[in-house]
Chain A
Amino acid sequence: MKHFNRRSFLKVAGSGVAASALAGTSTFSIAAGAKNVVVVGGGVGGATAAKYIRMMDSNINVTLVEPNEYYYTCFMSNEVIGGNRDIGSIRFGYDGLKAHGVTVVHDTVTGIDADKRLILTTSGASLPYDRCVMSPGVSMKYDTVEGYDESVTETIPHAWKAGPQTELLRAQLMAMKDGGTVAIAAPPNPFRCPPGPYERASQIAHYLKNNKPKSKILILDPKTKFSKQGLFTEGWSKHYGYGTDNSMIEWVNGDNGGKVESVDASSMTLGGEFDDYKADVINLIPAQMAGKIAKVAGLTGDSDWCPIVGNTFESTLIPNVHVIGDASVASPMPKSGYSANSEAKVCAAAVVALLNDGKVPQPSYVNTCYSIITPDDAISVAMVYGWDGEKIVAREGAGGLTPGGEDRNDAMRAREVKYAHSWFNNITQDIFG
């Protein structure tokens, strides 16, 4: 405790009251003068940041506010949809974070009082912070498709936040007749997990090939190119007849009317620019923006995403509030799980330094992203990033896609699946363990 003035005393006293009321116990206490960090959102970014701040400086009080008791990882949820993984294996609770001394509060944040540095919640709590880390993920832009709103997702899932939506899509695929059509409407850029829709198509194709081989998958896409496209289409050719008359997967790109403009759940029809597409199972993945609270709190400005300074992830709009993960503009880093995890660690180090009046440390970031095409064939993309003093930059000559293209032999393909699963085991441990 360095500078103890009246203002910080009041703040700390206030925080003690709020936290005690919230925890519903009087045993909760906060050391006088200790700094408070409130982390909003218990997904990949938020959980990692909360844990790492505590690991880096156990004198900082960290409160994580997250509505749900469990988080389902979006990564590997496509394996659940394809039937190669149990939903339970992508479900994570917060006991690991609690063991690191993180106070976990199941509540929903409704706003930020930036002047008084308070996080406001549905239950009426106001949590004081010296620094706040927001990791709100994405929200769906339902209004970009005619006839679409959140209630439609009960019959036409987006499954772009894992959990019940994932299980619903899986159940619909299992119930579908052989010879049915599955339509996947891919979102416009930028969106969470750029290779995700195409990995999903691969996983569904694998399920259909083995169980309902007369069925088809139609990918309707507003874009004219997509992440890992060469590797995906090579894999689809090898496994699912892509490019032949008998292809299980058809990709309709933006130039050919792939943009979905309307949806009718009663007739299970998607309206494209030129044609209507009727399907037995529809997975409509809409355009996205930063998680709702980001806009409410004023962290997005006039855009859909949160501008930040890349070595601290502090908002350029609201001081002392940091935004990480999919909601932030951290380009050239993609909106991926590993990016969120890596950004969270850089942010945690910056928050700890700033709260200790220290110098912001020089960051280092990485992204590693696997996509699984069959249980024996996976592909990946990776990049290492540095900080040039002004912005995040990809390291020249590094990273890129799985090399080899169609020269990859079966053993190399199978190894990438094993690496993907090892990646999953380790990153989830790193986030929640």
Chain B
Amino acid sequence: MRKSTYLARTLLISSLVCASQAQSEVPSAEMLANTCVGCHGAQGNSAGPAIPSIAGMGAEYFVQSMEEFQSGERPNSIMTRIAKGYSDEEIAAMSTYFAEQVYEPATQESDDAMASNGAKLHDKYCEKCHANAGTDAEDESGYLSGQWGPYLQYSLTDFIAGDREMSKKMRIKVEKLLEDHGEEATQDLIQFYATGATEAKQ
């Protein structure tokens, strides 16, 4: 998996180089990122509470997210409109910029008891794909631990409602989680992620 990620990135970068040689009119990655950080925070670390941090996000996941916003496959009021304003080359440039930034877990309150239960739930249902409590960019999914709670809430709501498509693996795990523990379990998960912990085992 790591190897394919590396390969994909190499391809991405080389296609970027070709694109920029072909047409010199693509703004620099920094110039493009400057249009994002007014809403997503310095280097992509959001001041919250509902706009997510995108610093350190895996480049593949960044590109995938933007493509899904463009197509409307992933729902969001503002990003579905903004993503359509950028070309593939521009999105690739942004993705490499944000992948290079350092993710800073958000400082937010959490309920200890719920977070403790959430840690166990994460370990059982989520950790396999979202390693280190969902703070490993190599997993090519959004950061979980240290991400803003309201954003995670919206995401889980959309996934569970079927408004946003889950991968098959995720769907099976989420269905099992809901079957075993009910929808309240998602609140415990969110409280755990609010702690900013980088591992679930306690």
Interface residues of chain A, those whose CB is within 8 Å of chain B, are 52, 338, 341-342, 345-346, 349, 361-366, 368, 380, 382-386, 389, 395, 397-400, 402-404, 411-412, 415-416, 418-419, 421-423, 425-427, 429-430, 433
Contact = CB atoms under 8 A, between A and B. Distances in A.
Contacts of B41: 426, 429-430
Given A382-B81, A395-B84, A423 B27 contact: no
A89 to B, nearest CB: 13
Interface of B: 24-28, 31-32, 34-35, 37-42, 46-51, 77-78, 80-86, 90, 148, 150, 154, 157
Nearest to A430: B38
A418 B81 CA distance: 18
A397 B72 CA distance: 13
A363 B27 contact: yes
A420 B133 CA distance: 29
Given A382-B81, A429-B42, A422 B35 contact: no
Contacts of B78: 368, 380, 382, 419
Given A422-B51, A423-B51, A384 B35 contact: yes
B150 A364 contact: no
A380 B37 CA distance: 18
A362 B37 contact: no
A366 B40 CA distance: 13
Nearest to A415: B154
A361 B50 contact: no
B42 A383 contact: no
B86 A427 contact: no
Contacts of A385: 85
Interface centre among A342, A403, A422 (most CB of B within 10 A): A422
A363 B84 contact: no
Chain B interface, >50% SS class: helix
A260 B84 CA distance: 41
21 contacts: A342-B38, A361-B27, A362-B26, A362-B28, A362-B31, A363-B27, A366-B35, A366-B38, A368-B39, A380-B78, A382-B78, A384-B35, A412-B77, A415-B77, A418-B50, A419-B78, A425-B47, A425-B48, A426-B38, A426-B39, A426-B41
B30 to A, nearest CB: 8
B85 A419 contact: no
A119 to B, nearest CB: 26
A429 B47 contact: yes
B49 A421 contact: yes
Contact of A423 (B32, B39, B42, B86): B39
Contacts of A422: 39, 46-51, 148
A433 B42 CA distance: 9
B81 A349 contact: no
Contacts of B83: 398
Contacts of B39: 368, 422-423, 426-427
A400 B84 CA distance: 11
Contacts of A412: 77
A286 B31 CA distance: 36
A326 B46 CA distance: 26
A415 B86 contact: no
Nearest to A349: B31
A383 B85 contact: yes
A362 B48 contact: no
Given A419-B50, A419-B51, A397 B84 contact: yes
Given A415-B50, A415-B77, A426-B41, A364 B90 contact: yes
A426 B51 contact: yes
Interface centre among B38, B47, B80 (most CB of A within 10 A): B38
A405 to B, nearest CB: 12
A346 B31 CA distance: 7
Interface centre among B27, B78, B80 (most CB of A within 10 A): B78
Given A366-B85, A380-B78, A399-B85, A426 B28 contact: no
B77 A398 contact: no
Contacts of A365: 35
A398 B47 contact: no
Contact of A363 (B31, B42, B51, B85): B31
Nearest to B34: A345
Contacts of B86: 384, 395, 398
B32 to A, nearest CB: 5
Nearest to A422: B51
Contacts of B38: 338, 341-342, 366, 368, 423, 426-427, 430
A341 B39 CA distance: 11
Interface centre among A397, A419, A423 (most CB of B within 10 A): A419
Contacts of A404: 77
B25 A399 contact: no
Given A364-B27, A364-B34, A430 B42 contact: yes
Nearest to A403: B77
Given A361-B28, A425-B47, 13 more contacts: A349-B31, A361-B27, A362-B26, A364-B27, A364-B34, A368-B82, A395-B84, A399-B81, A419-B78, A421-B50, A426-B41, A426-B46, A429-B42
